[in-house]
Amino acid sequence: MSRSVCAYSTIACCALVLAGCATNPITGRSQAMMVSDAQAAQSSAQAYTQLVSEASRKHALENDPATIARVRGISDRLIAQAEQLRPETRNWKWEVQVLRSNQINAWCMAGGKMAVYSGLLRAIKPSDDELAQVMAHEISHALLSHQAEKMSRAMMQQTGLQLGVLAGAVAGYNMQGVAGLADSAATVALQLPNSREAETEADKVGMRLAAQAGYDPRAAVSLWEKMLNSGGERPPEWLSTHPDPASRLDYMRKLAEQYMPVYEQARAR
């Protein structure tokens, strides 16, 4: 009985994974996509509206006209290239806000909802080329459906754990006590490696977007050097959602050389 239940659980998990896979049109990589981009965008829009409303109430929205114009001017050029790379994103309701915060951060949700934190602008003091690299990287996460993929993997993870607990219960074992440990192990084995892969993909596609928009790809290297010099210890690469700093810098230098002709063509136009 226990063997049949375990076999059923294994088959069910495999069927779940196969049913929820899709090939990304930009990278060609197979992704877990039980959650669609439209569903992720809807969730993002709701969260973004709440965040902006809360920030407005707390006077945490940047109101300096020059800062806002700079960020939106750069984002507009990048969005134009993003829409060429993935035409259906022309239907997205793109939006960017500058949030007053000491955090050195920026992000782009599914559906094109973006934020740049003032802490990044103050601490890093990025040039326009460097700021474009930050924003292009974050836009690429949305273009590459990384948020929908992450939500899908979390859904698969929880479903797999539930099937495992059920199989154990039918076989006469109480699996509830190890469910938390299994959940942590699944996160390390399933979600974090994908996140590192997602970061590498966003580095490459982001630099391409920025170069096509007329921003120097070499700025990605100088930006990351500034980020490293901004301080703070990093967790081990195995438990990090970002690649090792030295490896990432080497990769960016190679990408910069690759995309210099794209940048020069864009500047010539």
- The pLDDT score that the predictor gives to residue 246 is 80
Q: Catalytic positions, please?
A: 138
Report the domain count for the chain: 1
The residues, any chain, with a CB within 8 Å of residue 116's CB and separated by 6 or more, are: 71, 96, 97, 98, 99, 106, 131, 134, 135
> Parallel, antiparallel, or unpaired: how do β-strands 95-99 and 21-23 relate?
unpaired
> Parallel, antiparallel, or unpaired: how do β-strands 30-32 and 95-99 relate?
unpaired
- The pLDDT score that the predictor gives to residue 171 is 46
- The pLDDT score that the predictor gives to residue 113 is 97
- Report the alpha-carbon distance of residue 269 to residue 264 in Å, rounded: 9
Structure tokens at 58: 């707390």
Judged against a pLDDT cut of 80, whether residue 48 lies above it is answered with yes
Domain of residue 186: give its range. Answer: 2-268
pLDDT in tens, 211-259: 999 999 999 999 989 988 876 555 544 445 666 778 888 999 999 999 9
The pTM of the full predicted model, rounded to 2 decimals, is 0.78
Contact of 53 with 90, CB cutoff 8 Å? no
- Report the alpha-carbon distance of residue 62 to residue 155 in Å, rounded: 36
